[in-house]
Structure 1
Amino acid sequence: MARSFAHGNHSHTQNKIKNSGGRTGRDQARRTLSQNFMVDPDAVARVVEAAGPHDLVLEPGAGEGVLTRALAETCGRVVGYEVDPLLAGKLAARTRDDSRIRIVRGDFLAAHAPREPFAVVGNIPYSVTSKIVDWCLRAPTLTSATLTVQLEYARKRTGDFGRWSMLTVGTWPWYSWELLDRLDRAVFRPIPAVDSAILRIERRAQTPDLPGYRDFVDYGFTGLGGSLHATMRSRYPATRVDAAFTAAGVAPDTVVAYVHPDRWPILFEHLA
C-alpha cells in the first residue's frame, strides 16, 4: 500500500511527515483502522488451509487483497469488505474481471448476514476483534469463522491459559473454539507489537435448545462466594448443587474460570 520515495524529489512528503508528528496521512489512517497487512505467502496459505473450502466467504478487512485472491482459489465466491475507501477502490479495480470476487466499500460490521450458509475468513483489525466475533456469533447461517487475531485473545478464548472465558462457556453448546496456529508478528506490515494466531470458531453439527443457558452462565461468572459451587448455592438448594457437581465431575472448590465448558451443560441440566 505504501508508495516508495526512494528516488526523486519527495520533499513534499517529508514536510507532511514533519507536520504530522512523523506520520503521513496514510500512516495515520493505518493506525486508526488497525491496518496490519499479511505479506508472508506461507502465512496466507496457512490461513486459507485452516479455513477450508466454502461456497461463500465473507472477508472483513480485505485490505490489499492478498488473502482475498488466495481464498478465491479454494472457495466459490468471496465478498471482501474494506472500510478504507482508497484500498477498497484499488482492490475493486484489480479484481473487477474476477467473477469469484466482489469488493464492498464499507464496514463489515454494518453488513447483513447472508440467508445461505457462509463462512467468515479474515485478517481482522485488532481494534474491532470482539465486535467482529460478536457479529459472527449472531449470524444464524454462519458455519465457521477463521480469523487472525492477537495471540492473547485466541489463547483466552480457547482455554490455552488453562482458564475459560465467559464468552466461550456461554457459546460452547453451539460453537467450538480452537487455536489452530500461531503467526509471528514479522509476517505483517507494519509489524505489530504482538504475535497473532489463527482462531477458528465453528458451528456444531448438533445445536441443542437450551433456553436460559447463557443467563445461567452469566450468573455463574458473578464470582459470588469465590467458587462456582458457592455461587450456585446462593441460588439453588445445597443438595441439588452437590448432586449437580457430582454428576458433572467438578470439585466443589473449583474456581469458575477453571470449569471446562463441557461441564456447564451438565450443571445446567441438573440445576436450571
Structure 2
Amino acid sequence: MARPTSTSRALSQNFLADRAAARSFARLAVPHGTHAPLLLEVGAGKGALTSTLAPRCRELHAYEIDPRLVRVLRDRFAGTPHVRVVGADFLAARPPRTPFRVAGNVPFSRTADVVDWCLRAPGLTDATLLTQLEYARKRTGDYGSWTLLTVRTWPRYRWRLLARVGRRSFRPVPRVDAAVLRIERRRAPLLDATAYGDWRHLVELGFSGAGGSLHASLRRAYPRRRVDAAFRAARLDRGVLVGEVAPERWLRLHEVLTG
C-alpha cells in the first residue's frame, strides 16, 4: 500500500495490501447483522480497511497520525459523509461517552498502548485489531499459556484469536505474520466490582513469582490449607507454572480463596 519510506519505518507502518484480507477483517470486526453505530479506526493508512468498514457502521472516525496519509484519506472519502478522517494520534483521543467499537491495523510497536487504551475506555464494546501473530497468540492462550493481562481482565473481557494473516499481505512486508485479535467486553461481568478488586490482587500475587511457584506465591497471603483446598478444587498440581493456569481455573481459585 505504500513504499517503505523512512517515515513508514519510524511510525512502524505496515499497510494491509490484500483486498481479500481487508474484506475478511471487516466481516470479523463488524459481523453480519451487528451494524456498528460508532466505529473508531486506529491507523487508517490510505484507507484499505476504512473502505471495507465504512459500509458496516453509521459513523466512522478514521484516525491517522501521518499528515501525508491524512490528505490521501480526506480526498478518498470526501464523498462519504459518515466517515470522519481525524489527523491525530489515536492514543491521544478521548474515548466517546456512547458505546463504540475499535478496529484497525495497529502499528506493531504500539500494540500494547492501543490495547491499554481500549481496556480503559468505559464505552468500548469490542476491539478487533491486526497485531503481530505472536502477540495475539500470547494474549489468547494459543500457546497453551496465559499472560497476566489476559487473566487479570478475564472477568470483564474475552480475548479471541479470530484469524491469521500472512506477512506478505502487507507493504512493506514485515518480518512476522499477523493475526486478528478480538477483545470483547462481557455484557455481564463474571465478577462484581467488589469481587473484582480481590481478583486483581489474587492474580497479581500469583504472577509475582514470590516463593518460586504459584502455590508458594499464594501462601504468602492465604493459609496453606486453604491454598491446598483451592488447588484441589481447580484440579491443579502444586507444581503448576503460573502461566499454565487457564482463566477458568483462576476463577475456581478465587472462589475458594476469597469466598
- Alpha-carbon distance between aligned partners in 2 of 1:55 and 1:251, rounded to the nearest angstrom: 47
Counterpart amino acid of 2:227? V
TM-score, normalization by structure 1: 0.88
State which drifts further: 177-186 or 250-259.
250-259
Offset of residue 96 of structure 1 = 2.0
* Mapping of residues 207-246 of structure 1, within 5 Å: 207=189, 208-209=191-192, 210-246=196-232
Q: Does 1:98 align with 2:80?
A: yes
Other-structure match for 1:259 = 245
The residue aligned with 2:126 is 144
Structure 2 residue aligned with 1:123? 105
1:226–1:255 CA contact under 8 A, matched in 2: no
Instruction: Report the Cα distance in structure 2 between the residues aligned to 1:191 and 1:157, rounded to whole angstroms.
Output: 23
Gaps of 5+ in 1: 4-25
Higher deviation after alignment, 122-131 or 209-218: 209-218
Q: Which residue of 2 aligns with 1:180?
A: 162
Q: How far 1:227 moved relative to its partner?
A: 2.3
Q: Are 1:247 and 2:233 an aligned pair?
A: yes
Whether the 8 Å contact between 1:54 and 1:118 is mirrored in structure 2 is: yes
For the 8 Å contact 1:248–1:266, the answer to whether it is kept is yes
Q: 1:67 maps to which residue? A: 49
1:16 corresponds to: none
Instruction: Give the 5 Å matches for 1:4-43.
Output: 27-43=5-21
> Which stretch of the first structure deviates more once superposed, 126-135 or 91-100?
91-100
1:193 — aligned with what? 175
CA distance, structure 1, for counterparts of residue 90 and residue 77 of structure 2: 19
Provide Cα deviations, 1:97-140, integer angstroms capped at 9, x if missing partner. 21120010000000011111111000110010000000000011
Amino acid at match of 2:216: A
Deviates more, 1:53-62 or 1:162-171: 53-62
Structure 1 2/262 Cα, relative in aligned 2: closer, same or farther at 3 Å? closer
| Paired AA for residue 25 in structure 2 | V
Extract unaligned runs of 5+ from structure 2.
none
1:2 Cα deviation (Å)? 4.7
- Structure number with greater CO (CA < 8 Å, separation at least 6) is 2
| Higher mean displacement: 131-140 or 42-51 | 42-51
The answer to whether 1:135 aligns with 2:135 is no
**Which stretch has the larger CA shift, 92-101 or 75-84?**
92-101
RMSD (Å), alpha carbons = 1.4
- Of 72-81 and 260-269, deviating more is 260-269
Instruction: Name the larger-Rg structure.
Output: 1
- TM (norm. structure 2) is 0.93
CA distance in 2, matches of 1:218, 1:42: 41
- The percent of aligned pairs where both chains have the same amino acid is 52
Over 3 Å counting, the alpha-carbon distance change for 1:153 and 1:2 in structure 2 is closer
Deviation by residue 1:193-235 (Cα, 9 ceiling, x = unmatched): 1000000111112112222322221111012233211211122
Distance across 2 between alignment mates of 1:217 and 1:103: 40
- Give the partner amino acid of 2:27: E
Q: Does 1:83 align with 2:69?
A: no
Counterpart of 2:144?
162
Distance 2:51 2:59 in 1: 10
> Hey, what does 1:111 align to over in structure 2?
93
* CA distance in structure 2 between the aligned counterparts of 1:38 and 1:233, rounded to whole angstroms: 48
Q: Distance between the aligned counterparts of 2:234 and 2:149, measured in 1? A: 20
SS at match of 2:187: coil
Task: Count residues in correspondence.
Answer: 250
Amino acid at match of 2:257: L
Whole-Å separation in 2 of the counterparts to 1:185 and 1:82 = 22
